[in-house]
Amino acid sequence: MSLTLAHAATAPAQSTQVFILPLGTPTLPNAATTDLPEAARAYVETALADKQTFVALNHFSHQHYYVVLEAKRTDDLQFEALRKAGHQLQAALKKEKTAEVFIHNISENPDAALTLAEGLFLSAYEFEGYKTDEKSRAAASLTTIALVGEAATAAQVAELQHVLE
């Protein structure tokens, strides 16, 4: 599998980014408004006010995705919800043929980005040996999942890469 996890100090401008937002966020934190025009910010805030937990915003050259932590009875259930959000994110990234994605953790859960990346990585797995036609044998477009800044340390990212391979 050619998918790799990486650590990045910052995300490049005009790149596809995922922001993990705190539980019950009604408005966008400043850290999640990188290059958003006012109309796009209003759209995301309306979706957050409607209690949506996954919001996609297409800028044509790149996308922004917002994942809101869900209130669950236990931490394990919250982590499982993040893994499921990773699966939902993978479907959106596959549709857009995204090559790399940068994940920011703005939530209060320090392991949220690692868990979302785990769900994304596992969802991107392909059973290549069983594909029969040329279209299905085409390589997946997603090649890099980068965790940005304090979302995770480089050592945590390397450990997760080894566990998932």
Residue ranges of domains in the chain: 4-164
What's the whole-model pTM score? Answer: 0.90
Question: What is the dihedral angle through the alpha carbons of 7, 10, 13, 16, rounded to the nearest 10 degrees?
Answer: 40
Please give the CATH superfamily to which domain 4-164 belongs. Answer: Leucine Aminopeptidase, subunit E, domain 1 (3.40.220.10)
- Mean pLDDT within 14-28: 92
- Mean pLDDT within 74-94: 94
Nearest to 85 by CA among 35, 121, 136, 130: 121
DSSP β-bridge partners for residue 58: 63
- Mean pLDDT within 134-155: 81
